[in-house]
Amino acid sequence: MAITSITDTTTLSNGVKMPWFGLGTMSTGQSDEEVAEVIKSAAKVGYRSFDTAKVYKNETGVGKGLKESGVAREELFITTKLANTDHGYDEALKAFDESMEKLGLDYLDMYLVHWPVPGHLESWKALEKLYKDGRVRAIGVSNFLGHHLEALFKVAEIRPMVNQYEYHPLLTQKDLLAYNKAQDIQVEGYYALRDSQEIPEIIEIARNCKKTPAQVVLRWSLQSGVVTIPKSTREERQRENAGIFDFELSEQDMAVIDSLDNEKRRNPHPDEVKVSK
């Protein structure tokens, strides 16, 4: 798969084009102004996909940065997520409206159910309505394992187009990746750079490629067919992370990184997440 530009896209099951590479915004800035500056610097670098969530408490800042970036709305791909405390049909619709008001958007590119906690099946019906009404271009889930997807398929009229979950060299969940691909669900990974840059094998590959360990890990993610959204608040690092489109990892390098998996999670296991108000 040839991914040679920050603007290259994958086509979701409904035909919508989603950038392979974007900016995650969890724990980004302490104020709306700080968050906005992060968004604007990334937009200047060339980022066009931005991922947020209600629980990040930065949707207002993200929206401010997008507006001030000067980038045309049709060039952007914006994602936010339904919080665990907002499950239920009416509750999900209300939460969506609140997120849209904070983001200052007329439509959303993708809305995700953040975790598979009780009530999410009712919420999915709300996401289907938002999709049918044209208020969101794509709907999906986050942190869903295979059995969560199977349960969703039994009640869903519209299947999720994306499954976003923790994905890095120490947690590849190969079976889950293969399952999503077989179901025509695009995998999007987060925490790509957690703990990965200190691994000797990755450092060695980076030295041979004349790239940084972070760039090697991000390239590995893309070549695995996974959309990746690394977080960075500094323009210098945003540029470094985006400097991955002028090289490819060999099959041998990919196999070495794949072999590092030790099922090390940073986030809780999806079956153990607790809902707290």
**157 exposure class (CB count in 10 Å sphere: 0-12, 13-18, 19+):** exposed
Residue 38 scores a pLDDT above 70: yes
pTM for the full model?
A: 0.97
Residue 1 scores a pLDDT above 70: no
Average pLDDT, the chain: 96
pLDDT of residue 53: 98
Report how far Cα 274 is from the mean position of its chain's Cα atoms: 21
DSSP assignment of the chain, as one string? ----STT-EEE-TTS-EEESB-EE-TT--SSHHHHHHHHHHHHHHT--EEE--GGGT-HHHHHHHHHHH---GGG-EEEEEE-GGG-SHHHHHHHHHHHHHHHT-SSEEEEEE-S--TTHHHHHHHHHHHHHTTSEEEEEEES--HHHHHHHHHH-SS--SEEEEE-BTTB--HHHHHHHHHTT-EEEEE-TTTTTTT-HHHHHHHHHHTS-HHHHHHHHHHHTT-EE--B-SSHHHHHHHT--SS----HHHHHHHHTT-----SSPPGGG-----
Arithmetic mean of pLDDT, 203-223:
97
Categorize the per-residue pLDDT at 18 as very low, low, confident or very high, splitting at 50, 70 and 90.
very high
Instruction: Give percent above pLDDT 70 in the chain.
Output: 99
Indicate the class that CATH gives domain 9-189. alpha beta
Q: CA-CA distance, 129 to 250, in Å (whole number)?
A: 44
Residue 277 scores a pLDDT above 60: no
Instruction: Give percent above pLDDT 90 in the chain.
Output: 94
Catalytic positions are: 56
Rg, Å, the chain Cα set: 18
Residue 195 scores a pLDDT above 90: no
Of 275 and 74, more confident: 74
Angle at 254 between CA 11 and CA 144, to 5 degrees: 50
Arithmetic mean of pLDDT, 161-174:
97
Q: CA-CA distance, 38 to 163, in Å (whole number)?
A: 25
Residue 236 scores a pLDDT above 60: yes
If one counts every other C-beta atom within 10 angstroms of the C-beta of residue 37, the result is 19
Categorize the per-residue pLDDT at 209 as very low, low, confident or very high, splitting at 50, 70 and 90.
very high
pLDDT of residue 230: 97
pLDDT of residue 117: 97
pLDDT of residue 135: 98
Residue 108 scores a pLDDT above 70: yes
Q: What is the largest CA-CA distance in the chain?
A: 54
The domain segmentation of the chain, as residue ranges, is: 9-189
